[in-house]
Amino acid sequence: MKDGWARQQAARFLRVSTIGPRLRVVQRMFEFTGLYPWQWTAAEGEAFIAELRGGSSPVLMSTARGYEVIITLFMEYLLDRRYGWVEECLSRFGDTPRAVFHEGNSVLHTVEYEGDPRRRPLTYDEVQALFDAADARPQRIRGQGRKGVLTSLRDAAVLKTIYAFGTRRTESSRVDLVDLRRNRKAPRFGGYGSMMVRFGKSSKGAPPKRRTVLLVPEMDWVVDVLDDYITQVRPQLSPGAHPALWVSERVGRLSPRSINEAFVAARQDAGLDESLDLHCLRHSYITHLTEFGYPARFVQEQVGHSHAATTAIYMGVSNEYRTTLLEASMRKRLGEDWDVVS
Residues 140 and 259 in one domain: yes
Distance between CA atoms of residues 324 and 337, nearest Å: 15
**Where does a domain end: 222, 247, 276?**
276
Query: Is 166 within a domain?
Result: yes
Residues 174 and 267 in one domain: yes
**Catalytic (active site) residue 279:** yes
**Where does a domain end: 78, 93, 108?**
93
Residues 59 and 145 in one domain: no
The residue range of the domain holding 250 is: 124-276
- The pLDDT confidence band at residue 117, using thresholds 50, 70 and 90, is low
Residues 164 and 268 in one domain: yes
Burial of 143 (0-12, 13-18, 19+ CB in 10 A): exposed
Q: Which of the residues 28, 279, 321, 331 is marked catalytic?
A: 279
pLDDT given at position 311: 79
Q: Which of the residues 65, 168, 169, 267 is marked catalytic?
A: 168
Query: Is 285 within a domain?
Result: no
**Catalytic (active site) residue 305:** yes
Query: Is 111 within a domain?
Result: no
Residues 145 and 241 in one domain: yes
Chain segment 258-310, per-residue pLDDT in tens: 999 999 999 999 999 999 999 999 999 999 999 999 999 999 999 998 888 77
Residues 223 and 142 in one domain: yes
Query: Is 70 within a domain?
Result: yes
Distance between CA atoms of residues 108 and 21, nearest Å: 22
**Catalytic (active site) residue 314:** yes
- The pLDDT confidence band at residue 324, using thresholds 50, 70 and 90, is low
pLDDT given at position 224: 97
Query: Is 191 within a domain?
Result: yes
Q: Which of the residues 282, 283, 285, 288 is marked catalytic?
A: 282
Chain segment 11-40, per-residue pLDDT in tens: 998 989 899 999 999 999 999 999 999 999
Residues 269 and 130 in one domain: yes
Residues 80 and 161 in one domain: no
Q: Which of the residues 67, 192, 229, 314 is marked catalytic?
A: 314
**Catalytic (active site) residue 282:** yes
Distance between CA atoms of residues 19 and 4, nearest Å: 12
Work out the average pLDDT over 41-56: 92
pLDDT given at position 156: 97
CB 276 within 8 A of CB 112: no
Distance between CA atoms of residues 14 and 7, nearest Å: 10
pLDDT at 127 over 60: yes
Residues 253 and 153 in one domain: yes
Strand 194-200 with 209-214, pairing: antiparallel
pLDDT at 197 over 90: yes
**Where does a domain end: 246, 276, 306?**
276
Chain segment 214-229, per-residue pLDDT in tens: 999 999 999 999 999 9
- The pLDDT confidence band at residue 106, using thresholds 50, 70 and 90, is confident
pLDDT given at position 171: 95
Q: Which of the residues 201, 209, 211, 331 is marked catalytic?
A: 201
- What's the one-letter identity of residue 80? D
Residues 151 and 13 in one domain: no
Query: Is 334 within a domain?
Result: no
**Catalytic (active site) residue 174:** no
The alpha carbon dihedral of 94, 96, 101, 102 has a sign of negative
Query: Is 323 within a domain?
Result: no
Domain count, the chain: 2
For residue 263, give the CATH number of its domain: 1.10.443.10
Residues 79 and 179 in one domain: no
Average pLDDT of the chain? Answer: 90
For residue 68, give the CATH number of its domain: 1.10.150
pLDDT given at position 342: 45
**Catalytic (active site) residue 253:** no
Burial of 235 (0-12, 13-18, 19+ CB in 10 A): exposed
Query: Is 142 within a domain?
Result: yes
Write the secondary structure of the chain as one string of H (helix), E (strand) and C (coil): CHHHHHHHHHHCCCCHHHHHHHHHHHHHHHHHHCCCHHHCCHHHHHHHHHHHHCCCCCCCHHHHHHHHHHHHHHHHHHHCHHHCHHHHHHHHHCCCCCCCCCCCCCCCCCCCCCCCCCCCCCCHHHHHHHHHHHHHHHHHHHHCCCCCHHHHHHHHHHHHHHHHHCCCHHHHHCCEHHHEECCCCCHHHHHHCEEEEEEECCCCCCCCEEEEEECCHHHCCHHHHHHHHHHHHHHHHCCCCCCECCECCCCCECCHHHHHHHHHHHHHHHCCCCCCCCHHHHHHHHHHHHHCCCCHHHHHHHHCCCCHHHHHHHCCCCHHHHHHHHHHHHHHHHCCCCCCCC
